[in-house]
Amino acid sequence: MKYKALIFLALVLTCWTAVAAQSGETVRLTILHLNDTYQFTPVDGGKRGGLARVMTLKKDAVRENPHTIMTLGGDTLSPSVETRTYRGKQMIDAWNKVGLDYSVLGNHEFDVRTNELLDRIKESEFKWLGSNVIDSRTGKTFADLPSLVVREFGGVKVGFFGLLLPETKETSSIEDHLQVTDYCKAGQDAVAKLRAAGANTIVAVTHMFMGQDKKLAQCAPGIDLILGGHEHTLLQSSANGVPIFKMWADAREVGKFDLFIDKKTGKVTSMDWKIIPVTDQIPEAPEFAPVVAKYKSLLDQLEIRVGATAVPLDALSHSVRTKETDIGNFIADAYRKAVDADIGFVNGGSIRADLSYNPGPLTKRDVLSMLPFNNPIVKVEVTGKLLMEILEHSVARSAEDNEPGRFPQVSGLRFTFDASKLPGQRVTEAYVGGKPVSDDAVYTVATSDFLVSRGGDGYTMFKDAKVLLPADQAPKDSDVFEKAIKDSPNATISPRVEGRITRLN
């Protein structure tokens, strides 16, 4: 259905004053767009993605039209296997080589320490945008990033600005003094300033949910195109006459957008677009080879085998954030056993591979791709009443939001929720060790320190839990996961879905 909708929108946009598009009175601006690209190497067994292939597409587009730029809808420095070692520097090297022009800040840019992020920004040969990320100590944009950019193409001025989703406080390690301000107000201010600077064509590069992008188009009139990110899925929509696009994660596809701009008015008269699959049929740009060579030692280490799986594994982001999964069960079991707790509780957003694994070998890269954050597994004590609050929070947005990271994968626990009920009233039953949860009972929980000490994914209720094993003494999640694989019979795992989580409606 998504592709049918894309085809329909393509026809509409192509027919939109197509005669003007062929006129000598227009300037054609080509924008290549990607989002949520965490690694520069190919994915899906080498069949898709890879920034060396993207570089080839960029070179081809520039030859066809010198007025070509590339944008990124945020989330590239983290999380990834390589970032555990190089703290995002590998992605800056890659994007500098490809020739990225503009990137908006994504929520996971703030997973690295602030001083590291500042270093990555300084190393970037492209511009970072973050109109609504404000340092409360100075009242200025974070790192003095430009709140907007005006660029001239063939005599016409085009304006760009970037916006970050408000949930960043819940979904990353952003410091308290950094504030993500209202995106509607920031968008309105940016449009007004860009208009005043002579830009009559305006592109918003965002890292927000689709619903927020739609609201932006309505509350900040004057935007011609929204190129987004965050959802990891090929999406298209429109609101208030503004087209909105997002690509698949990890450079599996590149969106190509040709904007035809009237030279006299500076306004868009028509737009053509297409989605380009990045496959192994696209040759790798030889100029990208030095980036691969620079990080070859780590890349080779990541291919070391740690075990195998006898069954397919579902580590897709949509799956681990919406339902019980086989690999989610295995990881939650490993959490629980590692610290001898009653319950293993894993927020789905911490399982990051976004892949389905076929039966076969599991490498160091596979392990670290699934759990790249290196989170300590802490042990806490909660009452039954608090446990029910935690469970209610875990499914509070299951019906309203697209793939919330708070959705849990669990061990030692079984519960049922009704998504048709109001948030806070959805969990209809819960059992620990086969017995119904009692408000006055006490249970131990193995979970990520991200949830306990930082209130990550909105789990602020963990502040009322008693910490039994603090982060500085706790094992790291990926180490525990790897050990659980190696300790399995013949180092081969075969997890399955067992009915731990039941969704009604």
The answer on 386 and 270 residing in a single domain is no
User: Where a domain ends, among 242, 273, 294?
Assistant: 294
Comparing 9 with 287, which gets the higher pLDDT?
A: 287
CATH of the domain at 92: 3.60.21.10
What is the rounded distance in angstroms from the CA atom of residue 403 to the CA atom of residue 409?
13
The answer on 244 and 330 residing in a single domain is no
User: Where a domain ends, among 294, 315, 347?
Assistant: 294
The answer on 352 and 213 residing in a single domain is no
For residue 16, being part of any structural domain is answered with no
What is the pLDDT at residue 45? 86
CA distances (Å), origin 473, targets 69, 334, 453, 454, 470: 48, 17, 14, 17, 6
Task: Tell me the two tokens of residue 160.
Answer: 């760009």
The answer on 330 and 276 residing in a single domain is no
The answer on 224 and 367 residing in a single domain is no
For residue 394, being part of any structural domain is answered with yes
470-493 pLDDT, tens per residue? Answer: 999 999 999 999 999 999 999 999
Tell me: pLDDT of 339 over 70: yes
CATH of the domain at 370: 3.90.780.10
Beta strands in 316-372 (DSSP E): 343-347, 355-357, 360-363
Tell me: pLDDT of 20 over 90: no
The answer on 120 and 170 residing in a single domain is yes
The answer on 326 and 281 residing in a single domain is no
What is the rounded distance in angstroms from the CA atom of residue 451 to the CA atom of residue 467?
12
Tell me: pLDDT of 12 over 60: no
The answer on 166 and 61 residing in a single domain is yes
Question: In terms of C-beta distances under 8 Å and separation of at least 24 residues, what long-range contacts does 94-98 make, across chains too?
Answer: 94/40, 94/51, 94/288, 94/291, 95/51, 95/124, 95/126, 96/123, 96/124, 96/125, 96/126, 97/51, 97/55, 97/287, 97/288, 97/290, 97/291, 98/51, 98/54, 98/55, 98/58, 98/70, 98/288
Task: Give 344's contacts (C-beta < 8 A, 6+ positions apart).
Answer: 331, 332, 333, 334, 335, 336, 337, 410, 411, 412, 413, 445, 446, 447
What is the pLDDT at residue 100? 98
What is the pLDDT at residue 10? 45
User: Where a domain ends, among 294, 327, 358?
Assistant: 294
The answer on 288 and 308 residing in a single domain is no
Which of 125-139, 287-301, 302-316, 397-411 is least confident? Answer: 397-411
What is the pLDDT at residue 404? 80
Tell me: pLDDT of 224 over 80: yes
CA 369 to chain centre: 14
Binning pLDDT at 50, 70 and 90, where does residue 263 land? very high
User: Would you tell me the crossing angle of helices 89-98 and 114-123 to the nearest 10 degrees?
Assistant: 20
What is the pLDDT at residue 171? 84
The answer on 348 and 286 residing in a single domain is no
pTM of the model: 0.84
Contact 37, 74 (CB under 8 A): no
Q: What's the domain range around 314?
A: 304-504
What is the pLDDT at residue 16? 39
The answer on 468 and 370 residing in a single domain is yes
What is the rounded distance in angstroms from the CA atom of residue 227 to the CA atom of residue 109?
18
Q: Is 115 helix (H, G, I), strand (E, B) or coil?
A: helix
What is the rounded distance in angstroms from the CA atom of residue 145 to the CA atom of residue 160?
13
For residue 1, being part of any structural domain is answered with no
CA 358 to chain centre: 23
For residue 14, being part of any structural domain is answered with no
Contact 79, 283 (CB under 8 A): no
The answer on 357 and 242 residing in a single domain is no
- Burial tier of 219 (Cβ tally within 10 Å: 0-12, 13-18, 19+): middle
What is the pLDDT at residue 13? 44
Amino acid at 181: T
Give the total number of structural domains in the chain: 2
Q: Is 221 helix (H, G, I), strand (E, B) or coil?
A: coil
Q: Give the rounded percent of residues in the chain with a pLDDT score beyond 70.
A: 95
